[in-house]
């Protein structure tokens, strides 16, 4: 009888410890309100990353449960894994992510896949990713939503068609050997070529090629070239990208990713956690950089 009682106590304790923190209907609101507690065995690095991701989600969504998008769900999933929350909560975050609009762009992206699967993740998510990726391909939803044809887009938005065609070609070259299996020996010469083209366009226009010049559909192309450039080029254009964000010519997320790249080149650490597997800077330094660039 004592064995049975102890067994029941053990099972009950296990059930309570694995109790879900979140429910499907209120997942977003619960995530925004959640203050993580550090579980036994979770390292400082993992706990800091997980709490940072959840904090960033609050900021990115303006604390609005209805503002979640695929990036927010993906970040929350990564954060819960890092915090070693229960399988039930991680599975729920996974389901929320794959059900979000545009998740196939992440699921079929080699860079997202490699970055995610390189982490210490539950085994079931490895097979789940493969299944979800196959479903995206089967349903014809693989890859990013294509940009509109530059000539049509230029006419519809009263933009310079010649510039749009050049920017569209730069965008194609930026991804030519990054789609599917990354082939650096073929991609790197194109990246250097794109750097030279962007340098020439910046010299001609004297400003970041943002929404006013190339529209929202193409306003991240110059940033992508900078993001894939040499460290000295990233450093040179960081103030330009910052000014573009302040002027409303580019979203803030690319700026944060560029800041992370620059900081990794400088220190081997990052601020916002956009680069998989790279440790975060100390919190005081994170806050200093956030304040420097006006990122709350």
Whether 154 and 288 map to the same domain: the answer is yes
> Are 171 and 266 within one domain?
yes
Q: Are residues 123 and 69 in the same domain?
A: yes
182 and 252 housed in the same domain: yes
Any domain includes 122: yes
* 181 & 268 share domain: yes
Q: Distances in Å between the alpha carbon of 138 and those of 104, 114, 128, 132? A: 11, 21, 15, 10
Asked if residue 96 belongs to a domain, the reply is yes
Q: How many domains does the chain have?
A: 2
From first to last of its 296 residues, the chain has per-residue pLDDT tens of 444 444 443 333 444 345 689 999 999 999 999 999 999 999 998 999 899 889 988 988 899 999 999 889 998 999 999 999 999 999 999 999 999 988 888 888 766 776 777 678 888 898 899 899 889 888 877 665 678 999 999 999 999 999 999 999 999 999 898 775 678 899 999 999 999 999 999 999 999 999 999 999 999 999 999 999 999 999 999 999 999 999 999 999 899 989 999 999 999 998 987 776 677 888 899 999 999 999 87
**Domain extent for 30:** 25-138
Which of 94, 118, 138 is where one domain is finished? 138
Of 63, 65, 60, 73, the C-alpha closest to 102 is 73
Could you report the per-residue pLDDT of 250-283, keeping only the tens digit for each?
999 899 989 999 999 999 998 987 776 677 888 8
Cβ–Cβ < 8 Å for 106, 90: no
In the listed set 94, 116, 138, which residue is the last one of a domain according to the structure? 138
Q: Are 174 and 229 in contact (CB under 8 A)?
A: no
Q: Is residue 9 part of a domain?
A: no
CB burial of residue 98 (10 Å; 0-12, 13-18, 19+): buried
Kindly state whether residues 155 and 123 are assigned to the same domain: no
H helix or E strand, kind and range, residue 262: helix 252-267
Residue count of the chain, please give it: 296
Residue 36 located in a structural domain: yes
DSSP line for 58-110:
HHHTTT-GGG--HHHHHHHHHHHHHTT--HHHHHHHHHHHHHSTTHHHHHT-H
How far is residue 7's CA from residue 243's CA, in Å, rounded to a whole number? 63
Same domain assignment for residues 29 and 160: no
Examine the domain organization and report whether 170 and 274 are in the same domain.
yes
pLDDT of residue 143: 60
Whether residue 14 lies inside any domain: the answer is no
């Amino acid at each position: 009888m004592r064995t049975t009682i102890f067994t029941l106590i053990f099972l009950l304790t296990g059930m309570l410890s694995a109790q879900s923190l979140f429910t499907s209907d209120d997942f977003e609101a619960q995530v925004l309100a959640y203050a993580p507690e550090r579980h036994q065995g979770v390292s400082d690095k993992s706990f800091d990353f997980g709490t940072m991701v959840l904090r960033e989600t609050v900021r990115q969504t303006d604390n609005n449960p209805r503002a979640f998008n695929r990036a927010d769900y993906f970040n929350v999933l990564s954060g819960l894994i890092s915090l070693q929350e229960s399988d039930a909560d991680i599975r729920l975050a996974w389901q929320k992510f794959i059900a979000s609009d545009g998740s196939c762009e992440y699921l079929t992206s080699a860079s997202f896949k490699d970055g995610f699967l390189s982490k210490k993740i539950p085994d079931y998510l490895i097979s789940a990713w493969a299944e979800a990726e196959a479903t995206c391909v089967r349903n014809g939803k693989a890859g990013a939503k294509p940009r509109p044809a530059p000539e049509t887009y230029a006419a519809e938005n009263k933009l310079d068609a010649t510039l749009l065609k050049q920017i569209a070609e730069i965008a194609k070259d930026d991804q030519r050997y990054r789609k599917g299996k990354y082939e650096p020996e073929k991609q790197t010469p194109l990246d250097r070529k794109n750097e030279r083209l962007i340098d020439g366009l910046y010299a001609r226009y004297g400003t970041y090629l943002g929404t006013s010049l190339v529209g929202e559909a193409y306003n991240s192309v110059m940033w992508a070239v900078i993001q894939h450039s040499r460290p000295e080029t990233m450093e040179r254009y960081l103030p330009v990208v910052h000014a573009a964000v302040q002027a409303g010519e580019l979203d803030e997320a690319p700026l944060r990713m560029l800041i992370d790249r620059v900081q990794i080149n400088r220190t081997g650490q990052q601020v916002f956690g956009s680069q998989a597997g790279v440790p975060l800077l100390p919190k005081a330094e994170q806050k200093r950089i956030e304040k420097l660039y006006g990122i709350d």
